[in-house]
Each structure stands twice: as C-alpha cells, then as structure tokens.
Amino acid sequence: MYKHDYPGRLIIVEGIDGSGKSTQLQLLYKYLAARNYTVSLSEWNSSPLVKSTTSLGKKKKFLTPTTFSLIHATDFADRLVNHIIPLLKAGVVVLADRYTFTAFARDTARGVHPLWVRNLYSFAPMPDIAFYFRVPLEVSIDRILTGRTKLKYYEAGMDLGLSRDPEESFKLFQERILKAYDGMTEEFGFTVMDGTLPIEEQQEKMREIVDRELEGFKGLRRPVREVAVR
C-alpha cells in the first residue's frame, strides 16, 4: 500500500465480527457530520458484475482460498476507484468499515501467502488512522451467536474443513483471524481500541484521536445552500 497525499482523510475500522467496530464508526460519523466536516461513510456497494460472481461462487461453493481472495480484491478495486479515491481527491473525510486488513487477516487464515495478499492490495492507499477494535474471542463469539439464526458457509470458514459443526468452525476460524490481526498491529501501526470498554468510553477516545488527526485540516467546503424565501 502507498502513502497518499490526497486532500481528504481516510479513517478505517477493523476487528473480528462482533468487535463493535461498526457501532463506533457510525457514532464517529454523526460526530464529524455535526462538526460540519464533509464526511462519507463508505458504503460497500459492489459493482453488480462482481457482486453476481461473488454470490455465485459462494452459493455453489466454487471458491478456493485463492479465488476467494482474488474476487474480493476485484470488488475492492472497483469500490476504491469508483468511490473512495474520488472522494479523497475531492477532500472528503472517508470512513470505511473494514479495509484491506480484513482481507489480509481472513485470507491468511485460509492459508494464502501473507506476502502474496499484501502485494495484491498494493494499489490501495494507506489509511490516515486504522482503528483496531480488539476483543477476546469469547466476547465476540457471544455477541455474534446470540440472536443470530444461521452462520453462512464461508463466513464460518467451513471451506477450511476445521470442523463439521458451523459454530465450532466459526470459532476456530475467528481465532485464526484474531491472531492475524494481532500480528498486524505493529506492521501497520494500528490504533488499538479496547472493545470491551463501555461504548461511550470507546467513542470518546476515538473522537479525541480523530480530533488530533484533523487539527488544521481544511477539507472540502460544505455546499452553499440558500434558504428558499416564499
């Protein structure tokens, strides 16, 4: 990945399922919008072409670790070019729920080579802040498995043949992903957040860190809206 010098800022959150990262990012979005930043919560809308291929592969269980990795990289490249990069060039604060690190963690947990998958995503800009919401495995598993009907095949890592029981497989798979995240913390300079703290406390800390990053940041001005006079 490369260090960007776009006028915008890229802030991303990472963590295993059930780490609370999406909740925190939503709250951060509200905060920045209220403070008059032009901010975009990156919605992961895939291009329909890639999306139908991914769904087909998942439904038919066609995907191997390599093709799983490649099809998700295809999808990511599409979103990057059509969504994230234009916004960063325009000076927007872009918030992304998951980024390349999800692929690094998940794909290496599936057994692809760590350097191979890093090279695959070398066309992506490094984020300005990468928050890693860290929770112990038991906490995340508990959050995910309560009130959830059924784990999907690839989501549970069933393709790895770790266990025939989806819940057991999911746990073993998440354990590998968690290890991979921990291993990347130093490599990519993650800002580690304790995901077991109360939501408010985490959010306060997150806002402090973001405030510091955005000190002196101009960004894109808000559009002038004239009030209609009757």
Partner 1 sequence: MKQPAFYGVGLPYRSIGELNGKLFVVEGPDRVGRSTQLNLLADWLESEGHATSNTGFRRSQLTQDGLDQAKQGHTLAKNTLSLFYATDFADRLENQIIPALRAGFYVLSDRYMYSIFARDRVRGIDPEWLRQVYGFALVPDLVLYLRVEVEDLVPRVISGGGFDYWESGMDLGLADNLFDSFCIYQKRIIRELDQMAEEYGFVTVDASRSIQAVFEDLKKEILKVI
- The answer to whether 78 contacts partner 1 (rule: CB under 8 A) is yes
Q: Which is nearer to partner 1, 147 or 161 (CB)?
A: 161
CB 220 within 8 A of CB 92: yes
Q: Which is nearer to partner 1, 83 or 143 (CB)?
A: 83
Q: In this structure, what are the phi and psi dihedrals at residue 42, rounded to the nearest 5 degrees?
A: -65, 120
- The answer to whether 47 contacts partner 1 (rule: CB under 8 A) is yes
Q: How many residues contact partner 1, by CB under 8 A?
A: 34
- The answer to whether 153 contacts partner 1 (rule: CB under 8 A) is no
CB of 113 to partner 1, least distance (A): 4
Report how far apart, in Å, the C-alpha atoms of 158 and of each of 92, 169, 226 are: 39, 6, 55
The residues in 179-208 that bind partner 1, with binding defined as CB under 8 A, are: none
- The answer to whether 163 contacts partner 1 (rule: CB under 8 A) is no
- The answer to whether 116 contacts partner 1 (rule: CB under 8 A) is yes
- The answer to whether 119 contacts partner 1 (rule: CB under 8 A) is yes
Q: In this structure, what are the phi and psi dihedrals at residue 223, rounded to the nearest 5 degrees?
A: -65, 145
Cβ neighbours of residue 220 closer than 8 Å, sequence gap 6 or more: 7, 8, 38, 90, 91, 92
- The answer to whether 82 contacts partner 1 (rule: CB under 8 A) is yes
CB 94 within 8 A of CB 40: yes
CB 30 within 8 A of CB 18: no
Q: Which of 39, 103, 112, 144 binds partner 1 (CB under 8 A)?
A: 112
CB of 227 to partner 1, least distance (A): 40
Q: Which of 2, 3, 43, 115 binds partner 1 (CB under 8 A)?
A: 115
Cβ neighbours of residue 219 closer than 8 Å, sequence gap 6 or more: 7, 8, 9, 37, 38, 91, 92, 93
Q: Which of 22, 66, 185, 191 binds partner 1 (CB under 8 A)?
A: 66
Strands (E) across the chain are located at 9-14, 39-42, 93-97, 129-134, 191-194
- The answer to whether 50 contacts partner 1 (rule: CB under 8 A) is yes
Task: Give the up-direction half-sphere exposure of residue 177: CA atoms within 13 A in the CB hemisphere.
Answer: 28
Q: Which is nearer to partner 1, 114 or 191 (CB)?
A: 114
Which stretches of the chain bind partner 1, using CB under 8 A?
47-50, 52-53, 56-57, 60, 62-67, 70-71, 73-74, 77-78, 80-82, 110-113, 115-116, 119-120, 122-123
